[in-house]
Homo-oligomer: A and B are copies of this chain.
Amino acid sequence: MLADAQLLLDYASVFVFALTGALVASRGQLDIVGFIFFAVLTAVGGRTVRDLLFGRDVIFWVARPSLILAAVAAAIIVFFTAHLLESRYRALLWFDALALAVAVPAGVDFAISAGYGAIIVTMAGVITASAGGLMRDVISNEVPLLLKQGELYLTAAFGGALAALAFDACGLPHGWGLIACGLVTFALRAGSM
């Protein structure tokens, strides 16, 4: 059942990140293929970089290709509904905050489970959470969200990782630490928007 929850979270995370990629495509008035490109890139970018850096034998979406379909589905949904949104940028920010709050604990969990120390745990959390959005913003030639003034983006990711480490250091259950990590990340990020 834990594995099921993990899997559901994987699909949800890919889906929400893909929504943010598709919203960037929508702001750039791209065609449907452009939506799919940005959705897939954003959805799998961060964790792909993490898998490469930390030596996983098989990249996660190569092992489970249907995650790509989840990203494509998000792209198609945004393609047909984005014009209904009052502010696509606003929606982008909120979905991105949500994705951040899922991705930081996912990265932190991976690194703690693999036995890494505090520095690498923090790096894994921040990289998993930010690399996909960073590529999305660099390729679409926008100022990267994570570098915008007054937006506590990296700070939120950093704070979330610290929360998980603190729970761990206090000997509290690992799952509680991950939930705290997600909540702290989301609170810091949303609070700064």
Copy tally for this chain in the complex stands at 3
Partner of A30, one of B30, B119, B147: B147
Contact A147–B154 (Cβ < 8 Å):
no
Contact A37–B146 (Cβ < 8 Å):
yes
The verdict on A58 contacting chain B, using a C-beta distance below 8 Å, is yes
Chain A, interface size category, equals 35 or more
The verdict on A171 contacting chain B, using a C-beta distance below 8 Å, is no
The verdict on A113 contacting chain B, using a C-beta distance below 8 Å, is no
Q: How far is the CA of A154 from the CA of B39 in the complex (A)?
A: 14
Which of A86-94, A135-143, A160-168 is the interface stretch? A135-143
Q: Cβ of A6: which chain B residues have Cβ within 8 Å of it?
A: none
The verdict on A48 contacting chain B, using a C-beta distance below 8 Å, is yes
Which of A7-15, A59-67, A96-104, A178-186 is the interface stretch? A59-67
